[in-house]
């Protein structure tokens, strides 16, 4: 038993041959977060096949074994990328939108969702799908961590003219929501989009990080279209899209159906990133 009385079971790689029998013994709820995530410099000859092996076949293998073991509810952490990559200004994704995944990662998550609903229909095991946007918190990596480091080091950033809106979700809020949907009776057979409910522009996000870090923020005002054109020529269109594009989610369903509200604010979530002594 690990600290806190939590048993840790090592099962090996996640694919369609993983044996989950020991890990599923006497388990009532499964929260499945493990995945092959979007890889910026993917060296696989067939990236979609690699994503499917883990995110689709691995997920459905676990779900079938969970149902056979008597697990009552399977909570699947999917991705907002199932909905798409970008929203129109002033609009937000909702759970009833037609899925529109645009890369191999998003497609694999959508295929996993469909497979889980089929397993639920055949076995009676309850399923809950959660599609979070960018998750940040202690230990955050990749682009978010790079942005925080840039602010901490006082680097000038060409983001002053960007007036977009993006939804984020703090790790504390995601965990709180996942705990809730494990047992809430109204969560069964539902899909949820969740966020901090404080959509923010990238420029405002940088200023907030600087304020918490007590660093002078240096924002350069370069027209967004110029940055997009330059990054497209450099093969960095996806990167600039994540910085400058809109991606908002409407999390009101979680509030109205389950009574859920975020437990931390954007500022509190950012503070947890900056106070993490082991991160960044």
Q: What is the C-alpha separation between 42 and 69, in angstroms, rounded?
A: 36
H-type alpha helices, 214-261 = 224-233, 237-244, 252-258
Q: What is the C-alpha separation between 261 and 252, in angstroms, rounded?
A: 9
Q: What is the C-alpha separation between 276 and 153, in angstroms, rounded?
A: 16
The residues, any chain, with a CB within 8 Å of residue 21's CB and separated by 6 or more, are 65, 69
Of the candidates 78, 67, 179, 41, which has an alpha carbon nearest to the alpha carbon of residue 122? 67
CB 29 within 8 A of CB 86: no
136 in active site:
no
Q: One of 20, 51, 105, 136 is an active-site residue; which one?
A: 105
Strands 126-131, 73-77: parallel, antiparallel or unpaired by DSSP? Answer: parallel
Q: What is the C-alpha separation between 175 and 169, in angstroms, rounded?
A: 10
Give catalytic residue positions. 105
């Amino acid at each position: 038993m690990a600290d806190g009385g939590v048993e840790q079971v090592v099962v090996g790689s996640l694919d369609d041959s993983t044996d989950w029998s020991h890990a599923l013994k006497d388990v009532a709820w499964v929260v499945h977060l493990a995945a092959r995530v979007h890889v910026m410099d993917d060296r696989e000859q067939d990236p979609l096949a690699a994503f499917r092996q883990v995110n689709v076949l691995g997920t459905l293998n676990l779900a079938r074994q969970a149902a056979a073991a008597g697990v009552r509810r399977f909570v699947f952490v999917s991705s907002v990328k199932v909905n798409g990559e970008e929203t129109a200004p002033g609009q937000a994704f909702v759970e009833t939108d037609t899925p529109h995944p645009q890369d191999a990662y998003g497609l694999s998550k959508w295929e996993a969702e469909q497979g889980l609903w089929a397993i639920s229909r055949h076995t009676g095991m309850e399923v809950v799908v959660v599609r979070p946007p960018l998750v940040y918190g202690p230990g955050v990596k990749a682009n978010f961590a790079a942005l925080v480091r840039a602010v901490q080091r006082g680097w000038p950033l060409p983001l002053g003219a960007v007036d977009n809106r993006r939804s984020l979700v703090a790790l504390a809020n995601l965990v709180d929501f996942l705990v809730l949907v494990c047992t809430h009776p109204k969560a069964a057979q539902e899909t949820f989009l969740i966020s901090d409910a404080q959509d923010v522009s990238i420029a405002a996000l940088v200023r907030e990080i600087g304020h918490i870090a007590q660093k002078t923020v240096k924002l350069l005002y370069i027209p967004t279209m110029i940055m997009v054109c330059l990054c497209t020529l450099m093969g960095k269109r996806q990167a600039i899209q994540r910085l400058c594009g809109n991606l908002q989610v409407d999390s009101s369903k979680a509030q109205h159906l389950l009574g859920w509200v975020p437990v931390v604010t954007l500022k509190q979530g950012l503070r947890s990133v900056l106070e993490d002594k082991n991160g960044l």
